[in-house]
Amino acid sequence: MEYCKDMNLDFQDLLDDYLFDELEWLTNEFNYLFKEKESDFNISDLEIANYLLKKIAEINFISNNDRAAELISWTIEKIQLEYRELFSR
């Protein structure tokens, strides 16, 4: 039984490491979309952002990760601002 507990801990560590790597990648993608591409932001970028947001939500559901939750909140706010700017032009 002790062996199973150790295996579960190891698996959770691996899962957390994987999810952390995924969050890093997603964060970098958002930084590119919302910071570096700021003036060229368009509808297809919103579709990409929506896809990335869904992936972050999946990670948050799997890991209950506070960082993912913060990134989701920030992203939703940013997407709302971008929609307003795009459609007010």
**Model's pTM, two decimal places?**
0.42
67-87, pLDDT tens digit by residue? Answer: 667 766 777 777 777 667 766
Residue type (1 letter), 28:
N
Angle CA(47)–CA(42)–CA(23) in degrees, nearest 5? Answer: 45
* Tokens at 38, concatenated: 């700021």
27-82, pLDDT tens digit by residue? Answer: 677 667 666 665 565 657 667 777 777 777 776 666 666 766 776 677 777 777 76
The candidate with the shortest Cα–Cα distance to 71, out of 58, 87, 86, is: 58
Is residue 82 within 8 A of residue 42, CB to CB? The reply is no
Q: Which residue has the tokens 């939703």?
A: 76
